[in-house]
Amino acid sequence: MLRRLLRYCDKNYRIDTLLGDVRDTRRRPIIPLRAILQSGLVMALTRMGSLNALEQTRQRGYWRRWIGGALPSADSIGRVCAQVNPDDIRNIIREMYTRLKRNKAIRPVYGKFYAIVIDGHEPNASYVRCCPKCLLRGIQTNQGEIVQFYHRYVMAQLLCGSFSMCLDMEPQRPGEDEIAAALRLIERLCKTMPRAFNLILGDGLYARANVFKEALRRRKHVIAVLKDERRELLQDVRGIMKKEPPVTFTDKNGCKHVCWDIENLTTWSTLPVEARVVYSVETTVATSPDTKRKEEKTSEWAWATDVPQKELPTQEFVPIAHARWKIENNGFNELVNQWRADHVYKHEAMDVFWLITMLAYNFFHAFIFLNLKPQIRKNHTKLHWAARMATELYASLYLGYCPSDSS
């Protein structure tokens, strides 16, 4: 299964050629950079989570067939990756997106809208290890305040229909907040992949005028959670809700929505266009783990956007707005808990290893949802296929052969 996935990546996305186009800053390299990157990609695909674990597989057989020589040491892989330009890895992700779009594997979430979800994530923190890119903060302890070093990334994930694709990430720099890194990420995506998206989904942190202005300048739309009770915009909406009748519908999951969709709001004075607010009161029925009885749970959501109601009706707006959670469930949660993305492989090369993990994540999901037949896919989880790939790697290493690709 692992060899089949790698052949799929090479045939459909030219991964072998694209890895050969990546460059580093070494003047007279002894170890080919392609061998370094190929090793890191297999480490991510098999979810080893450690360069030392990868180094323990330095037997003959698989590695000579895949990289054309012996597996580099853990120190060599970490040292060389620290000298790689992250933009070269981003180019591979962009090439993959281009081919997926050309093959019509990326579909709009509704009508003409292609949506990306943007959110921040903190992969690590330390009181000892630091680098020039580390952020600083004071932590109060019994011994006084201690300086903590940490990294934070803002990631963009494209909603592709059956799966989600990690498009890009941007590190937060010292002295700036998450929004500054997000605006830089949006600017780069608009330059490198201008037609990949026209709708940006974000949490309450992104309900800011500068985010909406940047999106409007790039001819994009924004949907952001509105949850600050002190906002005049939300206060005005609550007053209008008392006079306007709601729209009621039930989604495919059985959740009942009572929504107020209010347009042409001018309360947000710093916004250059009229705002639209969708307020949804949602009721679901779930079985209580304590009483084993069905109980109703009610939650309230509010979103601010510049998308007109005629282009995105209320019943379509609400599920798209809730799709923001995909970056938490199918993005950070899966990348951290299953792909070991938070592991510090090399402190100076954290950006490169995060991008390699994102690339492996994209390859894996494209292979599962676009290459495997539905009859095969529905009987097994993604963890099953991941375990199959890891098992085949170790079998080929220790038994001295590569398994067949009949599966």
Domain CATH number, residue 154: 3.90.350.10
Does 95 reside within a domain?
A: no
Mean of the per-residue pLDDT values for the chain?
90
Do 118 and 237 sit in the same domain of this protein?
yes
| pLDDT tens per residue across span 359-406 | 999 999 999 999 988 888 888 888 999 998 888 887 766 555 444 444
Do 358 and 319 sit in the same domain of this protein?
no
Do 381 and 320 sit in the same domain of this protein?
no
Q: How far apart are the first and last CA of the chain?
A: 7
Mean pLDDT within 11-25: 92
Please, what's the b/e burial string for 205-217 (b: 16 or more CB within 10 A of its CB; e: otherwise)? Answer: bbbbeebbbbbee
**Cα gap 221→299, rounded to integer Å:** 26
Axis crossing angle, helix 86-102 with helix 350-370, rounded to the nearest 10: 20
Non-local CB neighbours of 396 within 8 Å, separated by 6+ positions: 61, 62, 402, 403
Q: Residue 156's closest CA among 200, 201, 109, 118?
A: 118
Do 187 and 233 sit in the same domain of this protein?
yes
Question: What is the SS3 assignment for 192?
Answer: helix
Q: Residue 322 carries which side chain, given as an amino acid letter?
A: H
Which residue, 298, 332, 366, sits at the end of a domain?
A: 332
**Cα gap 154→170, rounded to integer Å:** 5
- pLDDT band (50, 70, 90) for residue 15: very high
Does 98 reside within a domain?
A: no
Mean pLDDT is highest, among 182-196, 235-249, 328-342, 390-404, for 182-196
Do 35 and 111 sit in the same domain of this protein?
no
- pLDDT band (50, 70, 90) for residue 142: confident
**Can you spell out the DSSP letters for 341-367?**
TTS-S-GGGHHHHHHHHHHHHHHHHHH
Do 117 and 232 sit in the same domain of this protein?
yes
Does 313 reside within a domain?
A: yes
Count structural domains, the chain.
Answer: 2
**What domain range is 181 assigned to?**
105-332
Which residue, 281, 304, 332, sits at the end of a domain?
A: 332
| pLDDT tens per residue across span 268-286 | 888 989 999 999 999 998 8
Do 138 and 188 sit in the same domain of this protein?
yes
Do 175 and 299 sit in the same domain of this protein?
yes
Does 371 reside within a domain?
A: yes
**Cα gap 313→301, rounded to integer Å:** 17
